[in-house]
Amino acid sequence: MKVLRVLDSTGDRVIEFDESDATLTAQREAKALFECMLTSGSVAFKVNRGEGRVDEKVADFNALENETVIVPRVVGG
């Protein structure tokens, strides 16, 4: 099961999906959200990768691993 976490002004949104037909709707939602967020300047990271592997920036939905966090662009002023 893959987990996509989106951190934004509403909090921590979680979408769980895998490659099965049972989660096809969630997978489509996750892909649309992933692409929309990255287009708007957010950054995605593969996290909690296990076996001592460091977190890694990811820009391709098909390359997601177990858990991915999307962080929106930070605007200061």
Q: How many structural domains are present in the chain?
A: 1
Q: What is the pLDDT of residue 46?
A: 93
Q: Determine, yes or no, domain membership for 61.
A: yes
Task: Tell me, yes or no, whether 11 lies in a domain.
Answer: yes
Q: How far apart are CA 52 and CA 73, in angstroms?
A: 27
Q: What stretches in the chain show pLDDT beneath 50?
A: none
Asked, for residue 76, whether it belongs to a domain, the answer is no
77 belongs to a structural domain? no
pTM: 0.85
Q: Where are the alpha helices (DSSP H) in 1-77?
A: 24-39
The parent domain of residue 67 ranges over 2-71
Residue 43 lies in a domain: yes
pLDDT per position as a tens digit, 56-73: 999 999 999 899 999 988
CATH of the domain at 16: 3.10.20
Give residue 65's pLDDT. 87
The rounded distance, in Å, linking the Cα atoms of 44 and 35 is: 10
pLDDT score, position 8: 79
Q: Quick one: pLDDT at residue 2?
A: 92
